[in-house]
Structure 1
């Protein structure tokens, strides 16, 4: 690992075709100190094996993705969500990360009540936060771009996430600043500053917002520098809060997935050095 990459983390979504072991090996070869893991890759390897693989490589786990999907209104759906999230909390603790990324969920089928769905998210967080805290894990709320509000996340802004986090200790419920999802928000500088004051930034994720939007909107993420996001003000705002944690690159993009993983990491580290790293020193 070189000093300039000391905070850069490869999220396994970026190299989707790699197994967990391949992603760990790739991160080591690229000189990275950390990986962000998705639960599907952990499940394929087995939880204990996954944890040992990362430890043996000398890497840290910057986050586990994902928990959440808390908006069910029926008793069976609520029970299933709570059970799955408790399992995810235990997985995060076993892997040695305190950050469980939470995609809170969209509207249930046939439901148009966003306010009610958000209230159910708040109720589920109240049930899960003590369990998470007992395990040394933070529930890290991820606001998603508004185009995902109906199917994936009924919270779209960092302020909405912080409002949901407010009733809970900062070491139990926190937020992630994902540039792809929040770059558009005119209140973003103030929201990031607020998150810093409340000590709730648990993760900073970077990737670009590509145009035209893909037929599957999930695949509109791009490599930094290939889209429309200006990373300078966002990165500076995060740095100014005193955040010193990892910076994850998490990309869903069919072309990137079709590119050999080693090439992806070379481009990723180059773009990080060019577009993100120079702005990580607080002003």
Structure 2
């Protein structure tokens, strides 16, 4: 395993981690000030800053962009809705290219309102990715499916395991892979084998870290800082690196009642400390 004990270059800050305290300009400045090596912005923050201005500031700060969050959300109630989602994903690819992102992260979407057809939703995910794949390939922008914990299957992501994501990638082929987020995958007894599988096909595109709290008080906004919970972070990173992953560790924390209320300078300092000690 790589020695991260004095590293900040391989630390990426997903901007959701301090989105309640800072805008994107402030986050970029904070990363530069703390010598954090990379950033992963969200599209709404980029839009608020202005795409070209965001790209200029990120480049000026010397930051890698480990991913753009997010594309996906494909399933819709009708063909018109699906086409609108496909069009939005093509736009997201264009934004990711301008930012110099290493991948476009796809949270694929759940079932349309009122639907009970999860298989149909998964079919729409495949159809949606198929429709944008050539545009992504022509722009050299990898599409990274982020499987989400099964508790999100109905409303956020009907792809919930690494195996499901890789099965889609294998059908689609070149230009697709996975963003492995420990918050969503730590529980999966097949995780190590699926990481090995992804590594053989060079499909490990991004790695997101945080921690799972016991108890977890909110499905979406109660993630823990690394080291606060029960995820075997070093073990999973070891699996990732043994499979060939050599990218950044991206901290992505949604924490309404804790980290989103703290001084963002302290949040960044803590991210660095935990990256170097427990990730």
Please report the TM-score for the alignment, with normalisation by the length of structure 1: 0.94
User: Residue by residue, what CA displacement relative to the aligned partner does 1:72-91 show, whole Å, maximum 9, x if unpaired?
Assistant: 14022112101110110000
Give the secondary-structure state (helix, strand or coil) at the position aligned to 1:248.
strand
Higher relative contact order (CA closer than 8 Å, sequence separation 6+): 2
Q: Which residue of 2 aligns with 1:281?
A: none
| 2:31 is the alignment partner of 1:27 | yes
- Is the 8 Å Cα contact of residues 20 and 42 (structure 1) preserved in structure 2? yes
Contact 2:6 2:276 (8 Å CA) reproduced:
no
Report the counterpart of residue 199 of structure 1 in structure 2.
202
Compute the displacement of 1:5 (Å).
1.7
Q: Which moved more, 1:179-188 or 1:78-87?
A: 78-87
Name 2:214's counterpart in structure 1.
Answer: 211
Aligned-partner SS, 1:111: coil
Equivalent residue number for residue 184 of structure 1: 187
Mark the runs of 5 or more structure 2 residues left unpaired by the alignment. none
Residues 181-218 of structure 1 deviation map (CA, whole Å, 9 limit, x = unaligned) = 00000000001100101110100000001122224x11
2:146 is the alignment partner of 1:132: no
The answer to whether the 8 A contact 1:73-1:120 is kept is no
Q: Secondary structure at the match of 2:250?
A: strand
Q: Map Cα deviations across residues 25-48 of structure 1 (whole Å, 9 max, x no partner).
A: 111111111111101110000000
Aligned Cα root-mean-square deviation (Å): 1.2
Which of 235, 243, 268 is residue 245 of structure 2 equivalent to? 243
Number of equivalences: 273
Runs (5+) with no aligned partner, structure 1: 277-283
Which residue number in structure 2 is paired with residue 8 of structure 1? 11
Q: Deviation at 1:6?
A: 1.8
Question: CA offset at residue 230 of structure 1?
Answer: 1.1
Tell me the residue number matched to 1:143: 147
Cα distance in 1, alignment partners of residues 266 and 40 from structure 2: 19
Q: Following the alignment from structure 1 to structure 2, what is the Cα–Cα distance between the partners of residues 211 and 40? A: 31
Q: Is the 8 A contact 2:12 2:39 kept in 1?
A: yes
CA contact (8 A) 2:9 2:36 kept: yes
**What does residue 62 of structure 2 align with?**
58
* 2:96 aligned residue: 92
* 1:105 Cα deviation from its structure 2 partner: 0.4
Q: Work out whether 1:222 is the aligned partner of 2:204.
A: no
Q: Could you tell me how far apart the structure 1 residues matched to 2:232 and 2:247 are?
A: 21
**Greater alpha carbon shift after TM alignment, 48-57 vs 3-12:** 3-12
Q: Does the 8 Å contact 2:106/2:144 carry over to 1?
A: yes
